[in-house]
């Protein structure tokens, strides 16, 4: 499961489809509607919120809005509009954001060179608006992979 902190427009088609599916799975986990993935590290930042369901629905709404900009047909009814709060902020360390960006570039270099070319020269990546960037290391919950 990868719930990207990065600006969603950086993702290729495969990445956006995956984050939508994985976000929906995360929502089910946080709603208590599935037995698997309960302790997945990517969920830690949502579980830390006063209302994790507001966090995940707000995040999924951002994914949905990105899908609209690409003329995709994601189901709006999968996001609970009463649980969207544009003011909710999830703290995110700057080194986590940088790590995710390098991870995405590594993936895109292999599977979608056109998307890679669009982002390869960006020095400071942007993030999904639900996150609030602070100085700090890669998050403790991250499963760090060796990047080439």
Establish if 145 belongs to a structural domain. Answer: no
When pLDDT is averaged across residues 119-131 and rounded to a whole number, the result is: 96
Q: Which pLDDT tens digit goes with each residue over 68-92?
A: 999 999 999 999 999 999 999 999 9
Does some domain include residue 15?
yes
Q: What is the band of 148 on the pLDDT scale with cuts at 50, 70, 90?
A: low
- pTM: predicted TM-score of the whole model, two decimal places: 0.94
End-to-end C-alpha distance for the chain, whole angstroms = 21
- Is the alpha carbon torsion for 21, 95, 62, 12 positive or negative? negative
> Averaged over 26-31, what is the pLDDT?
95
Number of domains composing the chain: 1
* The token pair that represents 121 in the structure block: 């020269």
Domain that holds residue 104: 8-134
- 40 pLDDT above the threshold of 90: no
CB 125 within 8 A of CB 97: yes
């Amino acid at each position: 499961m990868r719930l990207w902190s990065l600006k969603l427009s950086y993702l290729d088609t495969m990445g956006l489809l995956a984050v939508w599916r994985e976000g929906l799975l995360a929502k089910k986990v946080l709603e208590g509607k599935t037995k698997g993935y309960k302790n997945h590290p990517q969920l830690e930042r949502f579980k830390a919120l006063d209302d994790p369901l507001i966090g995940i629905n707000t995040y999924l709404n951002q994914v949905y809005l990105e899908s609209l900009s690409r003329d995709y047909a994601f189901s709006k009814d999968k996001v609970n509009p009463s649980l969207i709060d544009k003011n909710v902020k999830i703290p995110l360390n700057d080194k986590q954001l940088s790590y995710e960006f390098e991870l995405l570039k590594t993936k895109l270099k292999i599977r979608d060179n056109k998307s890679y070319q669009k982002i390869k020269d960006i020095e400071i990546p942007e993030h999904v608006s639900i996150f609030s960037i602070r100085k700090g290391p890669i998050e403790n919950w991250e499963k760090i992979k060796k990047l080439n």
